[in-house]
Amino acid sequence: MHLSKSDFLKYQTCPSYFWLWKHKRELVPAEDEEEVAKQRLEQGNEVERYARQLFPDGKLVEGHNEKAKAITESMVKDGANTLFQATVITDNGLLAMADVLQRDGDGWILYEIKSTNSIKKEHYSDIAFQRVAFETAGYNITGTKIVHTNKDYVRGHGEIDHEKLLLVTDVGDEVTELIDVIRQQIGDALERMNDMTEPKGCSCRLLSRGKHCPTFAYFNPDIPEYSVFDISRMQGKKLASLVDDEIFEVTDVPDDFKLSKNQEIQVKVAKTGEPKIDPAGIGLLLDELEYPLYFLDYESISTALPLFAGCHPYQQIPFQYSLHVLHEPDGELEHYEYLGRSDSENPVPELVAAMREQIGNSGSVIVWHKSFEVGRNKEMAEMCPEYADFLHGVNDRVFDLKDIFAKQFYVHPDFRGSNSIKNVLPVLVPELTYKTMGIQRGDIAAVRWLDAVSNDPGGADAQKVFADLLKYCELDTFAMVEIFKRVRSEVTYPASAG
């Protein structure tokens, strides 16, 4: 059994999660849908392919584990200056493969290739692990560098320029600062890996829900699905106090426990089992609206390598929208939509042109989580300056329907502390559901769209994907319409919006 770089990063996340991964992997739930994980891996491979062009004399080490180790040693002995996937296996059980290992006088420089627009905290631990492994194997590591995508790179027409796409950053100082801690953690991880005793709990028990490891439920079966970890912004000393007192049910939080106003409302609603509705607060928000109402939602794709000219790495490119239009409170609902069906041309100009025909110069544009749509509109205005006034005008009229729930004017115990549309919809409009649809999530929508347009967009499989995409995006905006009607029924509709 070896300790690899990815193993070590799991250990840093949670030692118990790491142990289960090494000894009972079948019990570890997947962190992402298989399709999403596959696309992320493919994007990483694409960036690595371009990064290798920065090292024209590089030679690839074939094979894995012991075979790759033997080939690496042979190529080094034969005088190779730059190796891709150079592999070491140490006597104490470390396994490491360097993305790039480049000779530097009597030593070697380690390069890690990251398909990200910036260097993240975990990347320093990542390359520090590599340095420890290679030094333990007898290599003199004289430098550590990270290759990553340049967020300011703009793709031109034609092929991607790999030299402009990528940045090489020296992280030697940061790694040196970490190295002693990393060595200690590696020793602890090896000891934990070789201990056959299964842990009884996990260290995530004092962390907020978003920081829980994937095996939290396995190691903490006593904690209910909806618990104090789901209370809004519950963390630090407050959370520790509840955990120390073994208070996990939201309904068991003491009445005199100090909570913020939002936390107090969430806990009270859970205890009473009754929704908390503020008709006046809802009315004040709805009073901002002006008819016609345009319920708008985008689906977008974000890739490490810019798909189209004029785009940056990881820029969100809208390829689809759904638009429901309500001209008056009890009027007939109209629906419009657009879906790009090719990867040969940027869909944005055509998308914006279609939208311009359907969204008038007045009326509120209703979205859910407005920072996303507003951000896309700003970027599309830069891509399509002829529509900049229109798109900025749309942004001036955006109304975030989520605010009604985020500001706690409408709180239901079954929301479980979330204001996601996927949590709100089944409570307020139970007859509508994503569960029976061919596509049920935005990340899956993006993956399937890219696969469809990249392979055979005219084929039967792609046509099925396109149909599923249209239904999914349409439900996003229709869901907003129905949620809007539901909350509107709680108040006398403002005269200014009628």
Over residues 39-54, the pLDDT tens digits come to 889 999 999 999 999 9
Check whether 345 has a pLDDT greater than 80: yes
Query: Residues 6 or more apart from 13 whose CB is under 8 A from it?
Result: 213
**497 pLDDT more than 90:** no
Cβ-contact 477, 295 below 8 angstroms: yes
Higher-pLDDT residue of 1 and 178 is: 178
pLDDT of residue 19 exceeding 80, the answer is yes
pLDDT of 421 > 70? The answer is: yes
- pLDDT bracket for residue 34 (50, 70, 90): confident
- % residues pLDDT > 90 (the chain): 90
107-123 pLDDT, tens per residue? 999 999 999 999 999 99
Confidence of residue 71 (pLDDT cuts 50, 70, 90): very high
Per-residue pLDDT band at 195 (split at 50, 70, 90): very high
Cis before 292 (ω within 30): yes
In this prediction, what percent of the chain has a pLDDT beyond 70? 99
What is the maximum alpha-carbon separation in the chain?
A: 83
**Arch. (CATH architecture) of 280-497:** 2-Layer Sandwich (3.30)
Tell me how crowded residue 116 is: count the other CB atoms within 10 A of its CB: 16
pLDDT attached to residue 242? 95
DSSP string, 270-324: HHH---EE-HHHHHHHHTT--SSEEEEEEEEE--SS-SSTT--TT--EEEEEEEE
- CATH code linked to domain 5-194: 3.90.320.10
Question: Does the pLDDT of residue 30 top 90, yes or no?
Answer: no
Question: Of 109, 58, 116, whose CA–CA distance to 82 is shortest?
Answer: 58
DSSP string, 322-354: EEEEESSTT--EEEEEEE---SSS-SHHHHHHH
Does residue 329 register a pLDDT over 50?
yes
The pLDDT of residue 498 is: 42
Read off the pLDDT band of 330 (50, 70, 90).
Answer: confident
The SS3 assignment for 434 reads coil
Does the CA dihedral 149-151-152-158 come out positive or negative?
positive
Which residues are within 8 A (CB) of 3 and not within 5 positions of it... i.e. 6 or more apart?
93, 94, 95, 186, 189, 190, 193
Mean pLDDT calculated for residue range 62-83: 96
Q: How far is CA 122 from CA 10, 86, 111, 116, 127, in A?
A: 11, 21, 15, 12, 9
Using pLDDT thresholds of 50, 70 and 90, give the confidence band for residue 209: confident
Average pLDDT over residues 348-377: 97
Mean pLDDT of 347-376: 97
pLDDT at 331 over 60: yes
Average pLDDT over residues 57-72: 96
Six-digit token string for 313: 């790495």
Which helix (H) or strand (E) segment is 66 a member of? helix 65-77
Average pLDDT over residues 376-386: 96
Residue 32 has pLDDT above 80, yes or no: no
Q: What is the mean pLDDT of the chain?
A: 94
Q: Is 472 exposed, middle or buried (0-12, 13-18, 19+ CB in 10 A)?
A: buried
| Residue 398, CA distances (Å) to 37, 293, 350 in order | 33, 10, 22
First to last CA, the chain: 69
**347-364: average pLDDT:** 97
Ordered by start, the domain boundaries in the chain are 5-194, 203-272, 280-497
| Secondary structure percentages of the chain, helix, strand, coil, to 5 | 50, 15, 35
Average pLDDT over residues 448-466: 93
pLDDT of residue 395: 98
Could you tell me which residues are beta bridge partners of residue 95? 89
Residue 446 to residue 454: CA distance in whole angstroms: 12
Phi-psi region of 363 (alpha: psi -120 to 50; beta: other; left: phi over 0): left
What is the pLDDT at residue 61? 97
Query: Could you tell me if 387 and 380 are in contact, meaning their C-beta atoms sit under 8 angstroms apart?
Result: yes
Amino acid at the residue 400: D
Would you place residue 492 in the very low, low, confident or very high pLDDT band (cuts 50, 70, 90)? low
- Band (344; pLDDT cuts 50, 70, 90): confident
